[in-house]
Amino acid sequence: MFEDMDLKKPQDCSSAGDIRDEIDKIDKQIIVLFSERHKYIEEIVRFKQDEESIEARDRKEQVIEQRKEWAENHGLDAEVFKEIYTLLIESNIKHELKILKSKTTNNQHV
């Protein structure tokens, strides 16, 4: 995936500006991936019927723990990624609840 980004290796950068440019390229791709992920978040509501299924507490904890493990396996701070994914998932839940409410309201008017 990142192979087609034409990134310099960190050790091949010759200045702080070079490094910042490469970080910007990576961050842009991360945003693209989050946008793609968000499309799935919007679609999953089709398979959920109530707040409990949206909140899916067991799944939430499973995902957070798995992302922590993935981060740690890549030499990253697992607790930072726990916070990031907790925030992300809580935001997704709020968004899914809005969609469910809208879907429920629209179905009542049909």
Tens-place pLDDT, residues 5-52:
789 999 999 999 999 999 999 999 999 999 999 999 999 999 998 999
Residue 109 banded pLDDT, cuts 50, 70, 90: low
Residues sharing a CB contact under 8 Å with residue 78, sequence separation 6 or more, in sequence order: 68, 69, 71, 72
What are the residue ranges spanned by the domains of the chain?
A: 1-47, 51-110
CB 81 within 8 Å of CB 89: no
- Residue 2 pLDDT more than 80? no
What would the pLDDT profile of 39-70 be if each residue is shown by its tens digit? 999 999 999 989 999 999 999 999 999 999 99
> Which two three-digit tokens encode residue 4?
């087609």
Answer yes or no: are the C-beta atoms of 93 and 54 closer than 8 Å.
yes
Give the span between the Cα atoms of 28 and 49, in whole angstroms.
Answer: 34
68: Cβ contacts below 8 Å, ≥ 6 apart: 78, 79, 81, 82, 85
pTM: 0.83
